[in-house]
Structure 1
Amino acid sequence: MFLAAHQPSLIEFDGPKLEGFTQPILPANFEEMSPKAQQAAKELFLSQSLWLLYELEAQKQAPDLVHAFRYRDTHPRELLGAIGTIFNDGEPYMQSLSTDMVQEDVWGKVVGTAVNGKPLIPCPVRYSEEQLQTQAEQYALWQRDVDRKKQVLEELGAYSGWNVAVLPSEFDEMTTRVKAAKGRFLDREAKTAEEVVAWEQVWPFRGHT
Structure 2
Amino acid sequence: MDYMRNELNTPLPKVYAWSCEADNPVRAEYIVMEKVAGVPLDDVWPKMDIEQRWEVTKAIAQHQQSWLTSTLPGYGSLYYTKDLHGQEIIPVEGVNGRYAIGPTTGRDWSDDSRLDGAEVIAYLQAIANREVQCINALERFPKSPVTLCGPGLFQPTRERKLQALQCYSKLLPFLAPLDRDLSKPCIWHGDLHVENIFVNPECPSEITSIIDWQATEVTPRFVQARQPHFLDYNGPKLAGLEMPRLTQNRDGLSSHEREKARALFNNQSLVAFYRMLVKAKAPELHRCFEVQQTPAFDLLLLARNLLVDGEATYLSSVVELAERWPEYLRERGVKDGNVDCPVHFTEGEKAAIEKDAQAAYEGIRAMAGIQDALGDMYPEYGVVKHDDYDEVKAMLRQVKEQVLAAYAKDGDEKAAWEEAWPFQD
TM-score relative to the length of structure 1: 0.69
Provide the secondary structure at the position in 1 that maps to 2:302. Answer: helix
SS in 1 for 2:222: coil
1:62 pairs with one of 273, 278, 296: 278
Establish whether residue 131 from structure 1 lines up as the match of residue 349 from structure 2: yes
Q: Does 1:201 align with 2:422?
A: no
Higher share in helix:
1
8 Å CA contact 1:24–1:49 kept in 2: the answer is yes
Contact 2:377 2:392 in 1 (8 A): no
Q: Is 1:8 the equivalent of 2:225?
A: no
Structure 2 residue ranges without an equivalent (≥5): 1-220, 248-252
Residues 316 and 357 in structure 2, CA contact (< 8 A), matched pair in contact too: yes
Flag structure 1 segments of 5+ consecutive residues without an equivalent: 32-40
What CA deviation, in whole Å up to 9, does each residue of 1:39-64 have, x standing for no partner?
Answer: xx98xx96x66643431221221124
Which of 174-183 and 91-100 deviates more?
174-183
Gap change, CA 1:193 and 1:124, over 3 Å in 2: closer
Shift of 1:157: 1.9
Matched, 1:107 2:334: no
Rounded Cα–Cα distance in structure 2 between residues aligned with 1:198 and 1:93: 23
Q: Using a 3 Å threshold, how does the CA distance of structure 1 residues 154 and 109 change in structure 2: closer, same or farther? A: farther
Per the alignment, do residues 197 and 122 of structure 1 end up closer, same or farther by CA in structure 2, a change over 3 Å counting?
closer
CA distance in 1, matches of 2:386, 2:244: 33
- Based on CA coordinates, which of the two structures has the bigger radius of gyration? 2
RMSD of aligned alpha carbons:
3.6
* Structure 2 residue 372 is the aligned partner of structure 1 residue 154: yes
- Superposed counterparts of 1:169-180, under 5 Å: 169-180=387-398
For the residues of structure 1 that align with 2:294 and 2:311, how far apart are their CA atoms? 19
CA distance in 2, matches of 1:137, 1:167: 38
Between the aligned partners of 1:71 and 1:159, the Cα distance in structure 2 is: 35
Distance 2:288 2:361 in 1: 27
Cα drift, residue 182 of structure 1: 1.7
| In structure 1, C-alpha distance between the alignment counterparts of 2:339 and 2:275, rounded to whole Å | 33
Alpha-carbon deviations, 1:149-202, whole Å to 9, x = none? 222222222699931212223334433322222222222222333332221211
- Equivalent positions of 1:71-82 (< 5 A) are 71-82=291-302
Residue 91, structure 1, aligned to residue 311, structure 2? yes
CA, structure 1 residues 200+30, in 2 after alignment: closer, same or farther (shift >3 Å)? Answer: farther
Q: Specify whether residues 70 and 2 from structure 1 end up closer, same or farther in structure 2 by C-alpha distance, changes over 3 A only.
A: same
Sequence identity percentage = 19
What aligned pairs does 1:32-71 form with structure 2 within 5 A after superposition? 51-63=267-279, 64=283, 65=285, 68-69=288-289, 71=291
**Structure having greater relative contact order (Cα 8 Å, sep ≥ 6):** 2
Q: TM-score, normalised by structure 2?
A: 0.37
Task: Determine if contact 2:231/2:271 at 8 Å carries over to the other structure.
Answer: no
Question: Which amino acid in 1 is paired with 2:308?
Answer: N
